[in-house]
A = this chain, B = another copy of it.
Amino acid sequence: MIGGVLLDLAGVLYIGSTPLPGAHEAMQKLHQAKLSTRYLTNTTRSTSVATLERLSGMGLPIAAGSLYTAPLAARRYIESQGLSPYLLVHPNLKPDFPGMGEGPHDAVLVGDAGEGFTYAHLNYAFRLLLEGAPLLAMGSNRYFKESDGFSLDVGPFVAGLEYAAGIQAKVLGKPAPEFFQAAVTDLGCEASEVVMVGDDVAADVIGGVAAGLQGVLVQTGKYRPGDENELGATNATVVADVAAAIDWIIAHR
C-alpha cells in the first residue's frame, strides 16, 4: 500500500538550474496517478521563495504548501523555544529568518553557509557552544553535487563543532524523524504508506526508513557507486532515476 510520496529536490529533480532527464514526465505521472506528494529539502543556500521560483523557472512548479524545508523547520523550532540564535547560514537564506540573528545569542544555528564558513564565524559559534548554547543543525548532509563536482554541505561543519565542544547537535531537517513526520501527517497517511525518494543515502533513505517510511534511492545527484552498500537491512529500493522511482511507486501502489 502506497498512499503518498515524499520527494527530495536537488539531485533528484534537478542539479543547479537544470532539470534532470525524466523529471518533467515523472511529475506528470505522479499528478495523473493522483498520488499526493510533498517535497522535502535540506537545501540552505536559498529561501523557500527562491526554491519555488527556481522550480517554476525549470517548468517544475509545485504548490508552496507542499514544500517542507529545513530552514522552515528550524525557524519553527527556534520560535517555539524562544531562542536567539547566531545564524551561521548563507547570506541568501537570511530572509527565511526575519528579525532573527541579532545578539545577544543563546544558540547556534548552522546551515550550508558556503563561503560564510570562515574561521572567525566558526570560532564565534564555538565559543557560544562552550558557554552552553545549543547547536541546531539544518541537516547533517555530507556533501552535495554541483555542476563542477561534489562540495561540502553543512554536515562536516556540524561534525567539527560537535567534536570541538564535545556536544551533539539537534538536527532540524532530514534525517530528523519529526521532519518526515510533519509531511506524513499533512498527507493524511501512516508513515508506512509513504515512500521517500532521494539521492542522499543517509539523510533521505536511511533516515526515511528509520522514520518508518519506505525508501527509494535514485542513482543521480550526489549518488556515488557503492552508496547502496550502506543500506544494510533497510529493505530500501534502488533505481536509476526519478522516472524509474515513480514507475516503481505506481507499480507498487
Q: Which residues of A come within 8 Å of B, CB atoms?
A: 113-120, 122-123, 126-127, 130, 142-143, 149-153, 155-157, 159-166
Contact = CB atoms under 8 A, between A and B. Distances in A.
A213 to B, nearest CB: 24
A65 to B, nearest CB: 33
B150 A166 contact: no
Contacts of A157: 160
Contacts of A142: 163-166
Given A155-B163, A161-B156, A164-B142, A127 B115 contact: no
A237 to B, nearest CB: 23
10 A-B pairs closest in CB distance: A156-B160, A160-B160, A159-B163, A156-B164, A117-B119, A115-B119, A142-B164, A156-B163, A159-B160, A123-B152
A157 B119 CA distance: 10
A195 B105 CA distance: 42
B122 A117 contact: yes
A101 B149 CA distance: 22
8 contacts: A113-B119, A117-B119, A122-B152, A123-B152, A126-B151, A126-B152, A157-B160, A159-B163
A143 B118 contact: no
A143 B130 CA distance: 11
Given A142-B166, A160-B160, A127 B155 contact: no
Nearest to A224: B130
Q: Which of A126, A130, A161 has the most CB atoms of chain B within a 10 A radius of its CB?
A: A126
A8 to B, nearest CB: 19
Given A123-B151, A126-B152, 6 more contacts: A117-B118, A122-B152, A142-B166, A155-B164, A156-B161, A156-B164
Contacts of A118: 115, 117-119
B126 A150 contact: yes
